[in-house]
Amino acid sequence: MKKSIRFVVLIIGIIIVLSVVNNVKRTSQEQHDELLNSQTAPIGESSSDQNYKMTFWDVQRKGTNFFNSKSIPENYLVAKDKGIEFVRLVPSKWTKGEHDFLIGDVENYTGLVMEDVDALVANLDEAEKAGIKVIVSTLSIPGLRYSQFNDNQIDLRIWKDKKYMDQTATFWKDLALVLKDHPAVVGYNIINEPQPERVSIEGEFWDVNYDEWYKGVENTSEDLNLLYERVIKSIREVDTETPIVLDSGFYATPWAFNYLKKHDDNKILYSFHMYEPYGYTTKRLNNDQYKYPGLLPTSNSNVEMWDKERMDLFFEPIRSFQSKYGISSNRILVGEFGCDRNVEGIEPYFSDMLDIYKKEEWSWAFYSFREDEWDAMDYELGKGKLKWIYWEAIENGENPPEECRVENPIWNVIQKHLDE
């Protein structure tokens, strides 16, 4: 009898152990799916009311970029007070490189890092409270790590292996599933400043024959249009409403619009960035040699006369793209533009540029607003060296005191256009 009891107890023990092991051995993907499901309850407006996400862009919008090393949600209220309507939010630096934000590891994406998702959603909640709309962007995607977290090396893996296209499509599908009902989100920007051209081109964007280059890479891993096609299709499986923002190639230069394709989706914004001529807008390269308007450095140490007319001509590829595909101006976004605040002539440079954007009715976002690690494009600071109290606050991980921000001609140009 005792043996029978021991045998029964043994069997029951084995059953319990197997049950526990079975629970423990759930795959990380199953756990990830559970977490995703817990995050997909509608936040704010229901999906049936999501048309506002695209109609938001029916008129010219004026915004800025948040590229901070941490979440600073209080900046939304300040931005709103300045007349800023939307923010292009890039949270990729929030983990300080300890892991790839949201992704985990760009080498092998297996599911969202839900702790990062929680941090992002909390930030977006504050944007909504402040009345600011948000485009969510990223510096890293599977197969492409942000260079500052990659030993300052450009990561070209995604442009060499199509498996990363598939992983990127899955990543954005997962993220869209979480964010699709958030009322603050009015755009997914697939990747910041893609550069597939760097696989085979070492020169500058000025020197590239984009049509010829694209003929040689179409339908390969270097095909930016192919990546976008796959990601759009993947996102639309879970989110049919949120606009998708596509940067042009070669660091989002207007000139790469020559090969950018119109995609079969009526909720797409096509985006470029503007820091040209780079040898002028970058203090380190300018070295007090150049002033706008005037002779400015372009390709191969050449200099050209740059004024409002020449600047306007630089944007001709955008107009050609619009004409070729019938793209209206309210579907064009200047995702970034900027200039070092200590460069001579920045005020007329910005004034002429913003006049052009106004004429074209392109939405725009200046770079950047109160960035916490870099002061060169924080235009509220004006020109010149900063007071010690600014650097002391930065060193302590605090926001610099308001007295560091002064009325100045650079910010006045931006504010004038924000107020119009």
Nearest CA among 138, 234, 177, 157 for reference residue 226: 234
Residue 397 CB contacts under 8 Å (≥ 6 apart), including other chains: 70
Cα 261 to Cα 21, 123, 173, 209, 249: the distances in Å are 51, 33, 21, 16, 11
Percent of the chain surpassing pLDDT 70: 88
Angstrom distance (rounded) from CA 54 to CA 371: 28
Strand, helix or coil for residue 35 = helix
Asked if pLDDT for residue 26 goes beyond 50, the answer is no
Binning pLDDT at 50, 70 and 90, where does residue 49 land? low
Determine the average pLDDT of the residues in 206-222. Answer: 94
Q: What is the pLDDT of residue 34?
A: 52
pLDDT digits (tens, 9 = 90+) for 363-399: 999 999 999 999 999 999 999 999 999 999 999 989 9
State the pLDDT confidence band at 33, using cuts at 50, 70 and 90.
low
Question: For position 206, what pLDDT does the model report?
Answer: 82
- Can you give the three-state secondary structure of 264-289, one letter per residue? CCCCEEEEEEECCCHHHHCHHHHCCC
Annotation: CATH topology of 49-198+208-278+308-370+377-384+405-419: TIM Barrel (3.20.20)
pLDDT at 416: 98
pLDDT tens digit string along 300-322?
678 999 999 999 999 999 999 99
